[in-house]
Structure 1
């Protein structure tokens, strides 16, 4: 923590070029956590930046996690960045004392999260901020998002930072105190349950506005034929590593007398809110295609929800994009089919025929599908 109070309740902040001298001077006087009221000690070594530390974190709800040097350094960078143009408080104490954002500027509560926390805690903190009329601005500060060739791999914790904006689709904002760079991963589109396509934009902290803004190219670097290739690879891997007889999707496909490789091209397409479901699009779209009767949006949404409740599909937890739900993904899929003016067609009869049909499908519909991924 970078802020504390002295014995008279006067706030003390360890920030700025003279922070180390200030910390050394304060070492001889008692200081206290403004949240729990317990004694804190001043740390001012040669490695980490000057800060206050609890002797024990067990009794402080706001600082129950030890702050790493990376977190302290990043938080200080962000505070300096924000106060260039806006008033802000470091580690502001909210009225009822149950929360303490890293930085509070107006109604924006900045949380710079480097260590992994549970989805339930992330969602609880977010909901509490919103209930107070605050806008929670979560910044990812953990290990760099892993690249897998042209894709990125998002672990469940990183997915908690997903937001949605009409102009850039799903996006994540990260900050690295070592490079002083914001990294914005935008236009994130799932290709498999773990891999996503994404555009990345790096902006130096000196060039970023607060609140942040970014501009991405309107051209999507997205290939529907490559998406179909990855779908085949996903089926290969899934069949190799799992028991097809017990896997809900493959069992349903085989019980219907069909082949997962030969399913019609309309089953397993990328849609705008597909991140809301932690399964491959071919899985949940097969359930819709196989079980629907009326073809309505409500029916598709009910099918997806039923499969989630039975454990055949997994709902993604995205506290910062609450409007993006599995039901919305189902709605987007039905609207995509309506926009393409097509029904679910019969399956291919051979892999050779399947490849030809996919090529024809891409030529006819790729642009419309990509256009619907981002408004």
Structure 2
């Protein structure tokens, strides 16, 4: 059963729009972009259409602006199965994605109803290796709802793919390495693949292009360093194309942006903080008798799992060092148990934060740094190595 969730309010009643219908003899008809409006107008005048789910009569609407669609002639019990309304962009995007996938795979369904879950993915792709639900999300929905739907798919062995409708501002970003801002909602669409790291895949139906933000490295808050690329729908493959490995020159751009952001963070905490020594970061600097701009270069490093912290790397790493100082211990004496105790004192303790602290500790020990008094220089080659290890399967040699 292949229904579309598009619901339009007309006066006090709802009109349910669908992209598929049945003929009287049971033939399934799917409205794809290849069908011309002239052809559809002939269908409209010569055929009878039924809803694939409730078997109620539906009419074929063919205008000059809105995407052609079927609509129930009146309210029916079928309306209870539709959870949300949709935009023309969603209809257009699903048509285009469906067309793309039909060219790449043999078995593709447009909005099938999964009775065992009472869920309706936008598209379902059945391959030899498994069944993949694809959700093309245009409207903003609660993250908890996304997680619930994904958990439902996973409970029956399916691995869902969520594709975000490209926000308008994203299309104006320059291609290549840059600093990008993503909300918590955008982050819920991130996927992680080793070794490339986090990727955000979006699609813009009006331009028929995918926009990738790949190899994302969290800096602080909503800011990420990453690489922006786009791919036309006719060049897309399935499974969806994976981002290219960053080049050596691109990694050097990562370093430049990261170091500039580190300097900006330290300067801003001095110039913009209204709390002075009541600011936790400045208080730690004050008690350790260290001016923020004179912190050792190894405070604020882009180690693996650092995206688990919302704070800048300088902030959580200095906090760990401050904890060690109060305990009177060196990095070699800092056990996993100590790290767990340090993390559990936080408002939101996570395993990712523990791992980030462990990687940071192990890195400093390997570099011969044992305490805060050590002011060993960490040059750009070492930071280059950290980015290389995080984003590449094989480290670039310098």
TM-score between both structures, scaled by the size of structure 2? 0.75
Q: Deviations over 1:152-190 (max 9, x none)?
A: 111221111111112311111111112222222111112
Please give the residue correspondences for 1:215-234 in structure 2 after superposition, counting only pairs within 5 Å. Answer: 215-219=244-248, 220-224=251-255, 226-234=257-265
- Name whichever of 217-226 and 58-67 sits farther off: 58-67
Give the CA RMSD over aligned residues: 3.5
Classify 1:282/1:25 alpha carbon distance in 2 versus 1 (closer, same or farther; 3 Å): same
What's 1:72 paired with? Answer: 91
Question: Is the CA contact (8 Å cut-off) linking 2:56 and 2:76 kept in structure 1?
Answer: no
What's 1:208 paired with? Answer: 236
Corresponding position: 1:14 with 2:34: no
What's 1:319 paired with? Answer: none
What's 1:318 paired with? Answer: none
Classify 1:23/1:71 alpha carbon distance in 2 versus 1 (closer, same or farther; 3 Å): farther
Classify 1:62/1:362 alpha carbon distance in 2 versus 1 (closer, same or farther; 3 Å): farther
Classify 1:128/1:277 alpha carbon distance in 2 versus 1 (closer, same or farther; 3 Å): farther
What's 2:69 paired with? Answer: 51
What's 1:304 paired with? Answer: 343
Corresponding position: 1:169 with 2:197: yes
* Runs (5+) with no aligned partner, structure 1: 316-323, 349-356
Q: Deviations over 1:10-37 (max 9, x none)?
A: 6442224226444774598574473x88
TM-score between both structures, scaled by the size of structure 1? 0.79
Question: Is the CA contact (8 Å cut-off) linking 2:305 and 2:352 kept in structure 1?
Answer: yes
What's 1:365 paired with? Answer: 382
Classify 1:225/1:14 alpha carbon distance in 2 versus 1 (closer, same or farther; 3 Å): closer
Question: Is the CA contact (8 Å cut-off) linking 1:189 and 1:196 kept in structure 2?
Answer: yes
Aligned counterpart in structure 1 of residue 304 of structure 2, from 255, 272, 288: 272
Instruction: Describe the SS at the equivalent of 1:175.
Output: strand
Question: Is the CA contact (8 Å cut-off) linking 2:134 and 2:161 kept in structure 1?
Answer: yes
Question: Is the CA contact (8 Å cut-off) linking 2:301 and 2:383 kept in structure 1?
Answer: no
Question: Is the CA contact (8 Å cut-off) linking 1:222 and 1:370 kept in structure 2?
Answer: no
What's 1:142 paired with? Answer: 166
- Number of matched pairs: 352
* Runs (5+) with no aligned partner, structure 2: 5-17, 394-398
- Name whichever of 23-32 and 46-55 sits farther off: 23-32
Instruction: Describe the SS at the equivalent of 2:346.
Output: helix
Question: Is the CA contact (8 Å cut-off) linking 1:305 and 1:327 kept in structure 2?
Answer: no
Classify 1:331/1:66 alpha carbon distance in 2 versus 1 (closer, same or farther; 3 Å): farther
Classify 1:296/1:39 alpha carbon distance in 2 versus 1 (closer, same or farther; 3 Å): farther
